Amino acid sequence: MNKLLNTAFAYIILGLGSGLFYREFTKATDNLGTHSQLNTLHTHLLVLGMVVFLVVLALDAVFSLSGRRSFSVFYWTYNVGLVVTVAMQAVRGFLTLDGQDPATTSAAIPGIAGLGHMLLTVGLVALFVALRAGIKDRSARTEQAALAV
């Protein structure tokens, strides 16, 4: 559970730092008010990073998820997927603020971003597999305890 708390903490630092960076970068480059992917980078890091891992921490406390193989798959694929996704979001944001069109600059940018989204999806499916097993185990323990009484 400490790993989940530390991961959530890392994402709050990244999220708050990216928001501060966005504000200062757009002021320094005279791009205030220009819409780019950097606008929402901090929100993605805070919600998909910090909030998701705090929710998973609570689920782990209730359903003992962290010892399961599917939970490890969730943890690593979700984290890699999130880092890839927000990295491509940052690249798109920098290109936009530089006056370029990210969609025409390189086909690799949306392709890599799509790969990040696929990894996020695999991670979430693995989380649901772990959650289903955790709920099943908890129900079995509850039934055993009721029979013992």
Q: Could you tell me the CA-to-CA distances from 89 to 12, 30, 96, 102 in Å, in that order?
A: 17, 20, 11, 10
Burial 102-115 (b: 16+ CB within 10 A, else e): beeeeeebeebbee
Which residues in the chain come in under a pLDDT of 50?
Answer: none
From CA 17, how far away is CA 136, in angstroms rounded? 40
The string of pLDDT tens digits covering residues 63-97 is 999 989 999 999 999 999 999 999 999 999 888 88
pLDDT at 51: 98
Supply the pTM of this predicted model: 0.90
pLDDT at 128: 97
Burial class (CB in 10 A: 0-12, 13-18, 19+), 64: middle
pLDDT at 44: 95
Query: Closest by alpha carbon to 134, among 54, 49, 74, 47?
Result: 74
pLDDT at 148: 77
pLDDT at 55: 97
Residue 77 and residue 145 in contact, taking contact as beta carbons nearer than 8 Å? no
Q: What is the DSSP letter of 106?
A: -
pLDDT at 49: 97
